[in-house]
Structure 1
Amino acid sequence: MRPERTDVLRLADGRELWLRPVQPADAGPIAGGFELLGEEEVRSRYLHPVKALSEDYLRQLVAPTPGEGFAVCAAEPLPPGEALVGALARLTRDPGRDSAEFAILVSHFVSGQGLGQLLMLRLFEWARAHGIHRIWGDVLDGNTAMIALAQSLGFERHASPDDPGLVRVTLELAAPPKRRR
């Protein structure tokens, strides 16, 4: 499968979303949607309070360096730039390594619908296709939803030696099965 594909999702509540790669045109809707997030949602994702997303950060998020990063979103079934983005996940390769850091945010508008797992599975596909064997992320110790999601996907939980309020979750990706000819 191509991680860069678009899938149509039907949520349990009947809403339809597109699970697709983030596009540069999504910068405006992502910035606008950020303003609708609660303080705890932002703190859970960024590990500290953030008032707004910088233009630099948005640019990096919506136009990752090919082969070095990937971002996927769950958005309204509208063209990029017009669609409200309800959930977002990104993967950034560690320089010169076969590992990458993930980050994910599912807004309260679409939480509890299984989007976190779908976004992470798409990140796994991209990682495997680009030679990444280890995925990791830092999570607030109190972010039980993210820790539970990570553990359900096979991540291991490690205490952070530098910050007792953080947990590092890591996953060793198995190589995809080889196809028989």
Structure 2
Amino acid sequence: MPEAAEYSVREHLRDDRPITIRALRPDDRAEMLTAIGRTSTQSLQRRFFVPKKGFSEQEMAFFLNIDFESHVAIVAEISEDGRPVIAGGGRYIVVQPGQAEVAFVVVDAYQGQGIGTILMRHLAVLARSAGLKELVAEVLPENTAMLNLFKKFGFQTHSKGSPQVVHLMLQLP
């Protein structure tokens, strides 16, 4: 298993187009901003739980400066007109020993093509390899696509706190 910071694998979407899942790099800033700009307000709200039109420098630094120990981030890169573009990304952040919160977003034009499933599978691989025992996620109740994806991976609903958010947990074998 390569180091998380060097992670890179080739996958195929449902329609057999190739996609690369790789570690996020600090030099991905411009591509990340482009991907965010191509993501609808609704998709960003489903990811961040508040309307987002942009990100502060502090937020961008948080999203790009990854230590690949307590904070691991990967991107899904696809070829568009012969050049690689970020079609989605996911991350986990260790919230307590053995447990990490997982989240991801897929650019609207690429939703429904299996990218979320691929990102989740690779985040789980990286989490297991790092010795994590549990992944947790918070999802808005109306985000049925994400709820279905997490349930497909075996996440269980866990009641905790606010009814405006669905809390999910997955035990890693």
Distance 1:173 1:12, change over 3 A: closer
The range that moved more, 165-174 or 48-57, is: 48-57
Taking the aligned partners of 1:121 and 1:13, their CA distance within structure 2 comes to 18
Q: TM-score scaled to structure 1, two decimals?
A: 0.84
Q: 1:104 — aligned with what? A: 104
Whether the 8 Å CA contact 2:23–2:74 is kept in 1: the answer is yes
Q: Which has the higher helix share?
A: 2
Residue in 2 aligned with 1:6?
8
The CA distance in 1 between the partners of 2:28 and 2:95, in whole Å, is 25
Give the unaligned 5+ runs of structure 2.
Answer: none
- Cα deviation digits, residues 56-99 of structure 1 (max 9, x gap): 22222223123111111111359xxx74211100000114x110
Structure number with greater Rg is 1
Percent of pairs identical after alignment?
Answer: 26
Greater fraction of residues in strand: 2
1:87 aligns with 2:88: yes
1:53 shift after superposition: 1.9
Between the aligned partners of 1:13 and 1:173, the Cα distance in structure 2 is 29
TM-score, normalised relative to structure 2: 0.88
Residue 51 (structure 1) shift = 1.3
- The question of whether the paired residues in 2 share the 8 Å contact of 1:19 and 1:74 is answered with yes
The aligned runs of 1:1-181 (5 Å cut-off) are: 1-2=1-2, 4-13=6-15, 15-77=17-79, 83-95=84-96, 97-161=97-161, 163-174=162-173
CA contact (8 A) 2:35 2:88 kept: no
Could you say what the CA RMSD is over the residues aligned between the two structures, in angstroms?
1.9
Tell me the number of residue pairs that the alignment of Structure 1 and Structure 2 aligns.
Answer: 169
